[in-house]
Amino acid sequence: MDYSALSVAMRRLSLLAGAKIMEVYAADDFDVKVKSDASPVTEADEAADAIISAGLREAFPDILLVTEEQAATHTSTAGTFLIVDPLDGTKEFINRRGDFTVNIALVENGVPTRGVVYAPAKGRMFYTRADGQAVEETGDLALGSVGETHVISVSDADNSALMVVASKSHRDQATDDYINRYAVHDMTSAGSSLKFCLVATGEADLYPRLGRTMEWDTAAGDAVLRGAGGFVVRFDDHSPLVYGKEGYANPFFIAYAPGVDLVTG
């Protein structure tokens, strides 16, 4: 795998997809449909998926591509594959809350090793460089030139005063009960894969998810967090979260900075 070419392609395609998403977001109205699993999908999801899929298939034709919006791509698993959620946080998008992202990741032998998370409404972009180090790019986020990048790393967590981030749209009592087992200094809510990125930058120490997710929801954020020194583990036994599972469904999980003393669920 040419990681340099992949990093360039993921950044470029996320920007192109983000521009299309924001074009729809700015409209007075847009179509919203309901998929077979009862989740919403918009014309922005579909347009962004088309942009990213075409770009990845052209650049990396020999690598399996899995995308949320193309059910035909969900039928196979492989040791190495690209996985895409063109618009993560569709509910945030529909409600015009801004916490939605473009997610593109590479999985190798069950591990997301490279990824990009772009939040176009917030102007924040996080990705892994060719060497796997996670960075945040700031500035204009232009297609033609890479702006200033800053290496990001997880916090040195203080277990007597943890910073916790949880889902904005899917938080429930079980999540609150688990969080209450820690000494929490502050809580914040965020949508989409931005929660992984807040842990990656040290803005949060811990992100527990006790709810349904799919691998395309998490792979890019997971890659960014790993590239910043963090971990993502299963909720039940604290073993590493692996990818390429049958059906691409995730178990409950915990994303965290390594200094956090995890409690058993």
Binding-site residues sit at 68, 85, 87-90, 217
Q: Residue 91 in contact with residue 100, Cβ under 8 Å?
A: no
- Please name which of 144, 209, 143 lies closest in space to residue 176, comparing C-alpha atoms: 209
Q: Residue 104 in contact with residue 181, Cβ under 8 Å?
A: no
- Phi, psi (rounded to 5 degrees) for 185: -85, -40
Binding region for Mg(2+): 68, 85, 87-88, 217
SS3 88: strand
CB atoms within 10 A of CB 217: 23
SS3 217: helix
Separation of alpha carbons 66 and 29, rounded Å = 29
Separation of alpha carbons 86 and 18, rounded Å = 9
Binding region for substrate: 68, 87-90, 217
Separation of alpha carbons 200 and 17, rounded Å = 23
- What distances in angstroms separate CA 25 from CA 18, 29, 94, 120, one per listed residue? 10, 8, 8, 10
The DSSP call for residue 112 is: E
